[in-house]
Copies of this chain bind each other. A is one copy, B any other.
Amino acid sequence: MGIAERKIRQREEFRASILEAAWLQVLTDGWQSLSIRKIADAIEYSVPVIYNHFENKEAILLEFTREGFQKLAETLEQVKSHHREPALQLEAIANAYWDFAFDHKEYYQLMFGLGIPACERVNQIAEMKSMTTVMISTIAAAIAVSNDKQANLFLKYHTYLSILHGLVSIQMIEKAGKPDEDKRLILQDAISGFIKSLLAS
């Protein structure tokens, strides 16, 4: 009796159609405004059927997060295989990572919990300038005593802030882990590398 098999297949298809409708939603209006009701509407079923296939909304987002990491990993592996030297590989991976993030913004934001609300917010905040100013002026002073007085100030500032923010937010995602001392080590490592290359380049 192929009935059981067909049923399983149909369930799978149904599940896929939910994800498809959900992803369309995400691509259209961002994952912030994804709603169970809109998905139900799109697939022309009532709301509770969705709960037969996913425990809750979070489970749907989790699915996309998984997909995202899988796609990213594939891409990085592929790109890596195009080179032999580790240095070139690291460079290629970095570029691919960057491209992935911007070619699949919705995935990336989901994967790393970027909440965007701040996006519109942050750009209308004068107070941010004070922070920027402290950093930029200090970097300017560093460049002034460095071996490369022509270094691009804004670029270096941007790199500095990005490193800091990256360290912090990755750390916040992996919330549990590591004692304080180990975390501080990572910070030391990244920043001393930046400073060294800033002064000596």
A residues sitting closer than 8 Å to B (CB atoms) are 58, 61-62, 65-67, 69-70, 72-74, 76-77, 80, 86-87, 89-91, 93-95, 97-98, 101-102, 105, 108-119, 121-128, 130-131, 133-135, 138-139, 141-142, 144-145, 152, 155-156, 158-176, 184-187, 189-199, 201
Contact B164 A94 (CB under 8 A): yes
- In the complex, what distance in Å separates the CA atom of A174 from the CA atom of B62? 27
Of the candidates B118, B138, B145, the one whose C-beta lies within 8 Å of that of A80 is B138
A182 to B93, CA, bound (A): 19
Check if A62 sits within 8 Å of B159, measured CB to CB. Answer: no
Query: Cβ of B189 and Cβ of A159 under 8 Å apart?
Result: yes
Using Cβ atoms and an 8 Å threshold, which residues of chain B touch A156? 189
Residue A162 contacts which of B73, B170, B197 (CB distance < 8 angstroms)?
B170
Q: Are A86 and B145 in contact (CB under 8 A)?
A: yes
